[in-house]
Structures are given as structure tokens and as C-alpha cells.
Amino acid sequence: MIDLSEKQVITEHDLKDIPEGSSIRVAENVILTPLARDAIAHRKLEVSVRRRAAKIRRIAISADHSGYELKEVLKKYLNELGYEYHDFGTYDSRPVDYPDYAFMVASAISQGRFPVGIIIDGAGIGSCITANKVPGVRAAMAYNAAIARNSREHNDANVLTLGARFISSEQMRDIVKTWLDTSITEERHIRRVEKIKSIEKRFLR
């Protein structure tokens, strides 16, 4: 894949050294000159579009009792980064049931009230399972920044779940920032996520 997505205008000169049959990536609103279009067709170049991601500003968050303390750290960090958030609870460390709090965030995403959500429980697994029962939610559990990046870049995850017992506050910051800074842009990944959506639709009544 030859990346030309930084160019606002592509001419035949930009394509002259690209081998026939190659794949090129261009910006979403790129201007292709008529001679560039001819060159693409003549040399059978495969073109994919790098989409610009919408900026995330509002985030739904929640935690069970195991994740309460880390959620409070998360709130301070989101403030530092300049994000708005709504805290669906829990609001102290008294025992609660994680499905209730995972569902509140997941349903808010499903209803379109927030673009993304972050849920914290002890391991991150139970909340992830719960959230993925809600139509339109693609929840991913991340325990490092690489997994967080992959979940957004490849799977367009709109909910992040974290396990408070298995990551530190510093790791949480790294994971969350990477997750919020990453978006899906490649056509092949977008196509695959559309297939995920079509599978989900088969089971909706």
C-alpha cells in the first residue's frame, strides 16, 4: 500500500513511479486531476480512501465497586485531556452487580446518546460480555495500548472495558489515550465491520 493521503491534490506526476497494479491510499476529499484519473485506470491502480475520523468529545463511563477507584482516576484524566463525560456510577465502593452498570453505558451508546463508552470492573471481561449483548455495541477489553489501538483501528470498537485488578493507573492512562486517539480509516477494516453489523442484524427481532 502506497500512502498518498497527505496530498490534497494528486496529479499524474505523483503516480509516475508507482508500479502497475499497486494499491494506493488517498485522502477522503482529495482532488484527482483528469490525467491522474487516466493514469489510475490505465495502470490498474487500486485506490482506497483514508477517512477522517470524527473527533470524540463526549464519553459515557461506569464501573462496578471493583472499578470505582480507577474510574475516579479516569475522570480526572479525561478532564486533563479535555473530554466531557457522563458518570453512570457506581459512586462508591459498596458491592454492586457489574451487568447493571455495563448495561447503562452500552444502552446509551446503542441509543446514540454518546459516541463511545468506557466501563471498568474487576477483570473487564464481564462488562465486555454484557455490553456486547446490546445492539450496536462493539465492546473490546484492552489490557495494553496495542490491543486498544487494534480494537479501534480494525474493529471500530465503541466501548472500552478495563480490568481494575489487572492494570495500574498509568497503564489505564496509556490505554485510554491510545483508544481515544485511534479510529478506523482503512477501507478493508470498514468492510469487515460492516459484515459484523450484518451478522448482528440477522438476530434482531
DSSP symbols for 169-186: HHHHHHHHHHHHH-----
User: What global pTM score does this model have?
Assistant: 0.76
91/113 same-domain check: yes
- Among 9-13, 103-107, 124-128, 133-137, where is mean pLDDT lowest? 9-13
111/44 same-domain check: no
125/64 same-domain check: yes
If pLDDT is split at 50, 70 and 90, which confidence band does 1 have? confident
62/44 same-domain check: no
Report d(CA 154, CA 180) in Å as an integer: 14
Question: Domain containing 15: what range?
Answer: 2-50
Asked if residue 90 is part of any domain, the answer here is yes
* pLDDT value at 103 more than 80: yes
Which is nearest to 83 in space by CA: 55, 108, 111? 55
* pLDDT value at 53 more than 70: no
Q: What is the bridge-based pairing of β-strands 46-50 and 23-27?
A: parallel
Asked if residue 134 is part of any domain, the answer here is yes
- Among 32-46, 51-65, 182-196, where is mean pLDDT lowest? 51-65
**pLDDT score, position 55:** 67
In the block, cell 492494570 appears at 167
Residue positions annotated with a catalytic role:
154
The neighbouring-strand residues paired with 87 are: 61
Asked if residue 62 is part of any domain, the answer here is yes
Give the total number of structural domains in the chain: 2
141/98 same-domain check: yes
Kindly list the distances between the CA atom of residue 13 and the CA atoms of 2, 10, 133, in Å, as whole numbers in the listed order: 15, 8, 51
145-153 and 169-181 are packed helices; what angle lies between their axes, rounded to 10 degrees? 20
148-192 pLDDT per residue, tens: 999 999 999 999 999 999 999 999 999 999 999 999 888 889 889
3-state secondary structure of 10: strand
**Mean pLDDT throughout 17-41?**
86
